[in-house]
A and B are shown apart, each in its own frame.
Chain A
Amino acid sequence: MKKYLLGIVAIFMAIVFSAFSETNDKVDDGNLQTYTWHKYNTAGDSELDPIVSYSGTADAARTQFACPTSGAVICGRAYTSGGSPLNIYIMKPAP
């Protein structure tokens, strides 16, 4: 039992951390869900300042932010209605 003690402690900690970490995955389909989108700059490495935002689906945000096709650079990031950033992005081709 002593040989398993550290491993069991690690499993317990992993479960506790997972239980207490907030999940961003509140959606079934990222394309249909409505979010508040924040537009990124041309290089796709930071959000515009002042913030340019739009509320709607990912497809509608693409039209709004003029990023009709996907690619390797971030065009916009989804936020919850409460203002928390999500790990959901719309992308655009590199400039």
Chain B
Amino acid sequence: MPYKNTMKKWTHNERLIEIIAALFILLFLYTGISKIREHTSFRIALSQSPLLGSTAGLLSWLLPITEIITASLLLFPITRKHGLMISLGLMSLFTIYIAFMVFFIPSLPCSCGGVLKELNWNQHLSFNIFFTALSIIALWLTKRNKLFIAINRKSRTPV
């Protein structure tokens, strides 16, 4: 019976990780495609940023490509953990950047992809904090969800 409960919990956690990964796939793929479709506007908006202006040309391609690669890592169960780690890194960077903009230069336009540029800086900050929290939850569940531990045959210790 305890084994059955553990399995049920494992399946439940696995489903939750899949849902969070799917949300990130939707977010990164949509914003990545939007940034490429509106590349000129995106590059101009980035070039107006005092923090990123000097690297606008490079970042305007690097960001959407990274987002699309992350979305593809999240699709496959074998690479999902790495996808979630990159998602956490990206969302943390975006959140720090937006927090900087909120506090220091709120009058600048947002260089976001798709409908996200319709959000104001505060809404965008809340949105990013929510997704950063989701990536932390998914990574925590991934770590917690290990049912099997590899044991060294000779020493009988986990490897």
Decide if A87 touches B29 in the complex (CB within 8 Å): no
Per the 8 Å Cβ criterion, residues 22-75 of A in contact with B are: 23-25, 27-30, 43-45, 70, 72-74
Q: Which residues of A contact B77 (CB under 8 A)?
A: 3
* A25-B38 contact, Cβ under 8 Å, with A18-B114, A30-B44, A45-B107: yes
Q: Give chain B residues whose Cβ lies under 8 Å from the Cβ of A15.
A: 29, 33
- Measured CA separation A21–B115 after assembly (Å): 8
Partner of A3, one of B18, B48, B74: B18
Evaluate contact between A87 and B45: CB separation under 8 angstroms.
Answer: yes
Contact A87:B22 (CB < 8 A) given known A3-B77, A18-B114: no
Number of residues of chain A lying within 8 A (CB) of chain B = 33
Quote the shortest CB–CB distance from A58 to chain B (angstroms).
9
Once the chains are docked, how many angstroms separate the CA of A24 from the CA of B77?
36
B68 (CB) vs chain A CBs: closest residue: A14
Q: How far is the CB of A95 from chain B (nearest CB, A)?
A: 10
Interchain CB contact under 8 A, A28 and B40? yes
A47 to B123, CA, bound (A): 21
Whether the Cβ atoms of A6 and B21 lie closer than 8 Å is yes
Total B residues in contact with A, Cβ cutoff 8 Å = 34
Q: Tell me if B129 is interfacial: C-beta within 8 Å of chain A.
A: no
Contact of B37 among A23, A43, A45, A73 (CB under 8 A): A23
Residue of B with least CB distance to A6: B22
Contact of B75 among A7, A45, A86 (CB under 8 A): A7
17 residue pairs from A and B, CB less than 8 Å apart: A4-B75, A4-B76, A10-B26, A11-B71, A14-B29, A14-B33, A18-B34, A21-B114, A24-B41, A27-B40, A45-B106, A70-B48, A72-B108, A73-B107, A74-B109, A89-B44, A89-B48
**Given known contacts A18-B33, A72-B48, what 19 new A-B pairs fall within 8 Å (CB)?**
A7-B25, A9-B22, A10-B29, A11-B25, A14-B33, A15-B29, A17-B26, A17-B30, A18-B34, A23-B38, A24-B41, A25-B42, A29-B40, A30-B44, A70-B48, A72-B107, A73-B108, A86-B41, A87-B109
